[in-house]
Structure 1
Amino acid sequence: MIRNSLYINPGLSTAKPGNHRQSWTIAHDEFVEKNNGIMTHAEIGKALGRSAAAVQRRVHALGLQQRTYSEWSKDEEKILNDIYPSRGLEGVIHALSAAGFSRTKSAITGKVQTLKLERLALFESISSLTQPEFFQFLSRLYFESTGDKLTYQVLAEMCHVSYSSMQKWFAPGSGQQPLSIQLKHHFWLACKFAIASRKRKISREHRQDDESDQVKA
């Protein structure tokens, strides 16, 4: 599987790997330049219908630095998954650097595409809410979707945190503890997941009722 489909143009080549007679086009060279060091030579070759050795020779012919593809560690992927949706590319670069990792923008962009991560525009618009306002937003979202009230206890169970922590984060007052953007993002996703699960359960129950009615008929 090619890791960085962001840069892959299905129309680049229909040739089979190893077809060295095909001329290198400007589009091919641009593809090699963009993905050199992000994808392996074999992956680039698969996209262009060439062998890994042919790609390696082309990298040399173009005067590009022979970069070694480096697998992402689990810690790097966790940072990417946690940070990118809410803070974007610059946030990931900063977080990786703070953790002692070094990745180029193009490498991060390619990995984002591989993992199919997306920026959460709605979350960006609500992340600036105060903590009590944020809880009210989640409560409205949950009630409008399920008809049930979202309490601190319900949200605590969704997010696998203690009830007392919920009180410290969301109860107005001088004792309120700060809530990081990462935790806000976690709570928002947990709420959306719970709503989706509830909808699937209701849909399944309705389908079972319909099947039962058909059997009785």
Structure 2
Amino acid sequence: MKRYEWTEEAIALLGTMPDRKLAEKLGVSLAVVRGRRIKEGIARSGSKKRHKWTKEELALLGTDTDQRIADRLGLDRIQVMNKRIYEEIQAFTPRPEPKDTALKYKDLLGTDTDKKIGKKIGCSTARVTQLRKELGIAAYSKSSEVVWGNSDDALLGTMSDRKVAGVLGLSASRVMQRRHKLGIDPYRKSPTPHKPRQSKLAEFPVWERVIDIDQPQFFEVISEAYMARFGKRLTYGELSKLTYWSVSRLQKWFTSGTAQQPLQLQVRHHIYLAIKLFVSGLNGPQSA
């Protein structure tokens, strides 16, 4: 298909009348007119002016949920989400709740009296005692201290406290107490080196390739890019999770036949960006 050559006169008509009417006037498809108007940043005829993002507003993206930022700025959630995806900003992920104070210092339990440990970590004696019992750690007792040899101490930190306890015939809590007394760090397995995942953005089809192809073909193109990245086809269910459109709506857009519904260009662009950024690992904490 020959690309339409836009003249200054034709560009000046954008936004002065409905896109469909202008498309008929210029003898081009509706998608061509809409695509050019969006590219020029011109609002559609009879609509509100396009929102101009300030530096302060852009700085908010990704710092909270899209809905909360939208409420704060007086915008729709989809507007905020589209802008965040366009700017390649990761979705907001809530921080995990802080852990219980006593649980954070569980390695200290049983190495001294519950009262002294509670004062040391700023926790009540009752909470320290409760957690120690829940974890099956024996209470501290001077009368039950074990006589440790140099060979016994040499095992501390070289394997888990439970394994050392099995070798020496002691409880894991006794081994933990001795290790803390000597200032030896607990045993930790060396992490497996992580090979960074290479970005697949370079293989993703450019927007100009999919802007005006038919809807089922558009779905096939993005599905092929998804398969190249994850080794499986893109389902309507997965696409629904990524774009927040229902499965039934997606089926009506991308299933051929008389029941097929038209797909607006801005929605097509949103779906395109969502898949593109998910393939690159920028669109939130989801995983394929």
Fold shared by both chains (TM-score > 0.5): no
Q: TM-score, normalised by structure 2?
A: 0.31
Larger-Rg structure = 2
Q: TM-score, normalised by structure 1?
A: 0.41
